[in-house]
A = this chain, B = another copy of it.
């Protein structure tokens, strides 16, 4: 059985479990105030070239999203997101659970544009409607697409001009930064958004997300917010260990590249087989459209997600590669697909 189900199906890169094993009975301070978190934060600050950034480690994406958003908004303020945005669809109303409406723009590729944001601002004009205040984007998006530096620059310029907070969900930031068409680097992000997180869960960490708040006024008392939402881990040093390892010798990007290379091979193979892709995704999530009769056979040897029906006879599936995906798995999958 080969899994293309997700990029968080495997445990973690062996260097992390090795380091865990070596900790022995060393006693760490609790709640992220330990030497590993400190070291990891220092390495991240260097990698993003932002010495004043406030860095926090949390255990999951939904938890990070809801804690951040609830922290910076007043009760009547709302979020702007693409209709496909993770917070809008796949977080069981977690943002609304903290009291905030998510306003959405239809987007075929999962990305927001300044025009979409402007349209939502224009239709929210007075105190009888929510006040849009935070723009949520993800890179890569739910559909595997990425933002160019020009696109992100334009969005952020609009945000600054209209006093909106720009928050980038980086659950798959590694995948985005390693895409062939990408021209953003980690060090661009603190200048092109206000808050973002570097996803560990989906890029080889045992667990954890590293949150970066680059505008100091948005970071105030953030640890209170974390605790208030149940998002402050007692053994925070575990999160520190993960990111300290990922940000040593460039491991973070190397793992993302490994996933990206297998995705590139898979994409090329799908194209060679004439299998259409629903979205032109340059990252580790691919969305081939297959004849319905192919699915049961494929299911026997491969794990993957059904994305949705395309027409009566075709279905879009999602194939995800991870840092742990082998060339052999891709070869087997492509061979299996040859027969349809």
Within the complex, what minimum Cβ distance (angstroms) separates A13 from chain B?
10
Within the complex, what minimum Cβ distance (angstroms) separates A285 from chain B?
15
A75 — which chain B residues lie within 8 A by C-beta?
70-71, 93, 97-98, 225, 228-229
CB < 8 Å: which of B26, B63, B98, B228 contacts A231?
Answer: B63
A26 — which chain B residues lie within 8 A by C-beta?
10-11
Q: Taking CB as reference atom, which chain B residue is nearest A206?
A: B238
Give the number of residues in A that approach B within 8 Å (Cβ atoms): 78
Tell me the residues in window 1-39 of chain A with beta carbons closer than 8 Å to chain B beta carbons: 1, 3, 5-6, 8-11, 14, 17-18, 20-21, 23-31
State whether the Cβ of A112 lies closer than 8 Å to any Cβ in chain B.
no
Q: Are A224 and B127 in contact (CB under 8 A)?
A: yes
State whether the Cβ of A296 lies closer than 8 Å to any Cβ in chain B.
no
CB < 8 Å: which of B11, B21, B62 contacts A238?
Answer: B11
Identical subunits present: 4
State whether the Cβ of A259 lies closer than 8 Å to any Cβ in chain B.
no
The CA-CA distance from A13 to B70 in the complex, in Å, is 36
Tell me the residues in window 291-315 of chain A with beta carbons closer than 8 Å to chain B beta carbons: 303
Within the complex, what minimum Cβ distance (angstroms) separates A278 from chain B?
17
Q: Are B8 and A235 in contact (CB under 8 A)?
A: yes
Q: Are B232 and A62 in contact (CB under 8 A)?
A: yes
The CA-CA distance from A45 to B178 in the complex, in Å, is 45
Within the complex, what minimum Cβ distance (angstroms) separates A140 from chain B?
16
A94 — which chain B residues lie within 8 A by C-beta?
227-230
Q: Taking CB as reference atom, which chain B residue is nearest A66?
A: B230
A23 — which chain B residues lie within 8 A by C-beta?
10-11
A1 — which chain B residues lie within 8 A by C-beta?
27
Q: Are A96 and B100 in contact (CB under 8 A)?
A: yes
Q: Are B221 and A127 in contact (CB under 8 A)?
A: yes
A residues neighboring B (CB under 8 Å): 1, 3, 5-6, 8-11, 14, 17-18, 20-21, 23-31, 59-67, 70-71, 74-76, 78, 89-94, 96-102, 127-131, 201-202, 206-207, 221, 223-235, 237-238, 303, 324, 326
Contacts A59-B60, A67-B230 aside, 10 further interface pairs with beta carbons under 8 A come to A11-B238, A20-B206, A70-B75, A75-B225, A92-B129, A93-B99, A94-B228, A97-B229, A99-B99, A130-B228
16 contacts between A and B (CB under 8 A): A10-B23, A11-B20, A11-B237, A14-B21, A25-B324, A27-B324, A60-B230, A62-B232, A63-B230, A64-B230, A74-B224, A75-B225, A92-B128, A96-B101, A128-B227, A230-B230
